[in-house]
Chain A
Amino acid sequence: EAGVVQSPRYKIIEKKQPVAFWCNPISGHNTLYWYLQNLGQGPELLIRYENEEAVDDSQLPKDRFSAERLKGVDSTLKIQPAELGDSAVYLCASSSQEDRGRGTDTQYFGPGTRLTVL
């Protein structure tokens, strides 16, 4: 079974430029998460989707960040314009609602996109 796929793996941009990250979750997983991870810290949730609906975006800085999951499968996270402080790893994860019903939900992560803003 294929895992969570993310692209690109690395991205270097100059400040004020836009950037987009793409995520394809595990097949059949209807819950998708975007996290931000700063060096030496645990991940911080940015947004969670149930199918195509964003059910928790309270931590997403909406002035510059946006996300979409139009068909309830792939998702894109965008930053416009990027700032120096946005340099971090952006992780995508997915999980199954069926597992949550059993109380055994596990989030499976992609390899992440390491963003460097110069």
Chain B
Amino acid sequence: AQKITQTQPGMFVQEKEAVTLDCTYDTSDQSYGLFWYKQPSSGEMIFLIYQGSYDEQNATEGRYSLNFQKARKSANLVISASQLGDSAMYFCAMREGMDSNYQLIWGAGTKLIIKP
């Protein structure tokens, strides 16, 4: 079974509109972390935002916020006031557990295109 599911392979959004990128996850661990990364066409994987499983507040970083719904196991990324430079691949990833053998589990990504 997929541990990280991103159901939107691609999205077109008008500039200045808000965008929600979906991510659902599957884990039996109580302690885990959720990450969103942006990968523009240049190839670099850019860290955007992090949410810990015990964090009570939704994480926010500038125009990025993470809509964390623990019971539904979803961690959607919200980008407010989208800009042309937001066009990129977006990956959701999860880190399970706290022991030394953890690793990031990645979703397949969503390609976001912002239209002028």
Interface residues of chain A, those whose CB is within 8 Å of chain B, are 40-45, 48, 50, 55-56, 89, 91, 93, 100, 103-112, 114
B43–A89 contact, CB under 8 A? yes
For the complex with contacts A43-B45, A100-B98, A112-B45, 16 further pairs of A-B residues with Cβ separation under 8 Å are A40-B108, A42-B91, A42-B93, A43-B91, A43-B106, A56-B103, A103-B31, A103-B54, A104-B33, A106-B35, A106-B50, A107-B35, A109-B45, A111-B42, A111-B43, A112-B43
Given A103-B98, A107-B104: A114 touches B43 (CB 8 Å cut-off): yes
Interface residues of chain B, those whose CB is within 8 Å of chain A, are 31, 33, 35, 37, 42-47, 50, 52, 54, 91, 93, 95, 98, 100-101, 103-104, 106-109
Name A99's closest neighbour in chain B (CB-CB): B50
- Shortest Cβ distance from residue A23 to the other chain B in the assembled complex, whole angstroms: 13
Name B105's closest neighbour in chain A (CB-CB): A42
Name A41's closest neighbour in chain B (CB-CB): B108
B45–A105 contact, CB under 8 A? no
A114: chain B residues at CB < 8 Å are 43
A106: chain B residues at CB < 8 Å are 35, 47, 50
A103–B108 contact, CB under 8 A? no
CA distance A104 to B51 in the complex (A): 8
B45–A93 contact, CB under 8 A? yes
8 contacts between A and B (CB under 8 A): A40-B108, A41-B109, A43-B91, A48-B103, A103-B98, A104-B52, A107-B104, A110-B44
